Chain A
Amino acid sequence: MSADRRRFLVSCSALALAPALALAQQNPQREALLREVTRGAALRIGRVLVDTPTLADNGHSVPLRIAVDSPMTAADHVRRITILAERNPRPVVASYALGPYSGRGEIVTRIRVADIQDIIAVAELSDGSFWMGSAHVIVTELACLEG
């Protein structure tokens, strides 16, 4: 993937402790969607890299890499990664169960993007904490609801 078309959410930066709730309050739909994943637990921004093109060639097949900053040991690992696309007709795109045997908290796949939006990844860690990252994707050819 060419670097100039990527937007990376910087993990473990100054944003790390900004509560996602403050942002979500501007968007009750997003808050409800995130709550569905976290079951009400606190959600923090950081540690989750969402690597996807800023401008997708075609919304039917958008490459996506989610990488969680985690040692993936028995004591400290990623339990689950959930991908959300709030403007898709079905916002919960996929969910992956990982564990210490995974070695890396990373998933690469291709998803459908039905409208210009943020693609959000939520990681559930073994200590019960939840972290999220996101990336904004522009699509000109829309998946799902058009063609």
Chain B
Amino acid sequence: MLTLSAVAAEAPRPQPKSGIEYAGGDVRALQADDFGNPGMLWVARGEKLWSAPAGRSGKSCAGCHRDAPTTMKGVATRYPRRDVGGGELLNLEGRINQCREQRQGADVLRYESEELLALTAYVAHQSRGMPVNVEINDANRVNFERGRDTYYRRQGQMNLACTHCHEQNAGRKLLADTISEGHGNAYPVYRLEWQSAGSLHRRLRACFFGVRAEQPAAGSAELVDLELYLASRARGLQVETPGVRR
């Protein structure tokens, strides 16, 4: 039986377009304005936190990773990622929390907390302008397929899958908004609607809510797997962190 997932995987896809290309003039101008872009406030906070001692170790990120613009350059283009020795698939937030817990002796940071948003934005920002270049290999193929299944699975009261809006109707209107292709290349993003920066998982959960489906928890394996699949769809798009969206 040919599943929706298998059929969609075979069809060649057109060049991806970033969400910023579906945005209006003001949003585009605000994202391009390095001072006015409100997401840069989180990047600035992340820069401070990078050098702040954390946890029982008293070590800062800088203590091991030195100068972020050098050592973190390109990192975000390769995430989500699984460690060479095994272990779970980690997105940037997961990696930051793993470092904190295992190497700094510090508490994990909650999703949407000021600190996690700031550190994630700061690290991803060091890859701004570089193309998303996540690799799908034997180590993460199972995660990729799970993510792809989620993308094409109908869910919620509205019985819609991600593909119905973001693949089949990108560029068309939904209420007062233009549907984008749903890429994650600009995250963490400052969303005018949130009046704050927020994570990709916050945005994904909002989509699940939008189709009236049960929302997976932020940081859950389901969302990290989906994030990997989305990153594979976004290959070639430039990292824009911190992005600005409506």
A residues with a Cβ closer than 8 A to B are 1-2, 5, 53, 56-58, 60-61, 63, 140-141, 147
Contacts and interface: CB of A to CB of B under 8 A. Distances in A.
Contacts of B195: 60-61
Interface string B7-26: 00000000000000001111
Nearest to B29: A1
A53 B192 contact: no
B193 A60 contact: yes
27 contacts: A1-B25, A1-B26, A2-B25, A5-B24, A5-B25, A5-B26, A53-B26, A56-B26, A57-B23, A57-B24, A57-B26, A57-B27, A57-B192, A57-B246, A58-B192, A58-B193, A60-B192, A60-B193, A60-B195, A61-B192, A61-B195, A63-B30, A140-B175, A140-B176, A141-B193, A141-B246, A147-B193
Interface string B134-178: 000000000000000000000000000000000000000001100
Interface of B is mostly: loop
A140 B246 CA distance: 11
Contacts of B192: 57-58, 60-61
Nearest to A5: B25
B29 to A, nearest CB: 6
Top 4 nearest A-B pairs by Cβ distance? Answer: A140-B176, A58-B192, A2-B25, A61-B192
A2 B23 CA distance: 13
Interface of A is mostly: loop
Q: Quick one: which of A53, A57, A61, A147 has the most chain B CB within 10 A?
A: A57
A7 B30 CA distance: 19
Given A58-B192, A60-B192, A60-B195, A141 B25 contact: no
B186 to A, nearest CB: 15
A26 B229 CA distance: 58
Contacts of A56: 26
A2 B25 CA distance: 6
A1 B175 CA distance: 24
Contacts of A61: 192, 195
A60 B246 CA distance: 9
Nearest to A4: B25
A60 B195 CA distance: 7
A91 to B, nearest CB: 20
B246 A63 contact: no
Nearest to B176: A140
B173 to A, nearest CB: 11
Given A1-B25, A1-B29, 7 more contacts: A53-B25, A53-B26, A58-B193, A58-B246, A60-B195, A61-B192, A140-B175
Contacts of A58: 192-193, 246
Contacts of B27: 57
Interface in B171-230: 175-176, 192-193, 195
A56 B23 CA distance: 12
A132 B25 CA distance: 27
A2 B30 CA distance: 12
Interface in B16-67: 23-27, 29-30
